[in-house]
Amino acid sequence: MNKFTKIFLVTLMSAMFLSAGSMAALATSAAELDREVIKALHQLYSTAPAAAKLGKTAKGILVFPKIYKAGFIVGAQYGEGALIVNNNIVGYYKTMGGSYGLQAGAQAFGYALFFMSDKALKYLLNSQGWEIGVGPSIVVVDQGAATSLTTTTGKDNIYAFFFSQKGLMAGLGLQGNKITQFQPDK
């Protein structure tokens, strides 16, 4: 086994060990997750008026208040969130992802997905695990796009807003993430 392969395997095992340990530590009760989701959505609305506008007409909003991501060559991320439909939390979801490539660091961030069509929301509700990049199209809204986005121009299936980024790690992305429903502790 060459030196690169050994380094790769040690890094992979470390990332899996750290992400498995952090996933157990992140488990929250439904009531606590409810509070975090509502707080995060209000925070997003106060900093991104376009999100607040889309929220008024969205068929559903999936909010992940805190995603933890870490990696060195091999990376992992995990977070828990909730789906809001008609101002009510109707389900709980977790997002997990792995990546490989030129990366190093750790960070925490949140994101919200605004489902603008019944078809896109049904896809989430009926899937046994939704891998981002497969299924309905997603538009990641950056600050530039947010200034011109309105409920009239916003005609895509799903819009994603990132918020509360802390830490150092190059790049934010959703590709390769898998979103699955789960039941938190009561």
Per-residue pLDDT of 127-154, as tens digits, reads 888 887 666 778 888 754 444 444 444 4
What is the predicted pLDDT for the residue at 75? Answer: 81
What is the predicted pLDDT for the residue at 17? Answer: 46
Q: Shortest CA distance to 34 belongs to which of 69, 80, 68?
A: 80
What is the predicted pLDDT for the residue at 12? Answer: 45
Domain count, the chain: 1
Q: Shortest CA distance to 54 belongs to which of 174, 159, 163?
A: 159
- Report which secondary-structure segment, H or E, holds 163: strand 158-169
3-class SS of residue 117: coil
Query: Which segments in the chain show pLDDT lower than 70?
Result: 1-27, 133-135, 143-155, 169-176
Q: What is the pTM of this model?
A: 0.79
Q: Are 80 and 92 in contact (CB under 8 A)?
A: yes
Cα separations in angstroms, 161 against 24, 32, 182: 26, 22, 22
Q: What's the token pair of residue 4?
A: 């690169």
Q: Which domain holds residue 138?
A: 3-182
Cα separations in angstroms, 25 against 19, 42, 70, 162, 179: 10, 25, 15, 23, 19
What is the predicted pLDDT for the residue at 78? Answer: 94
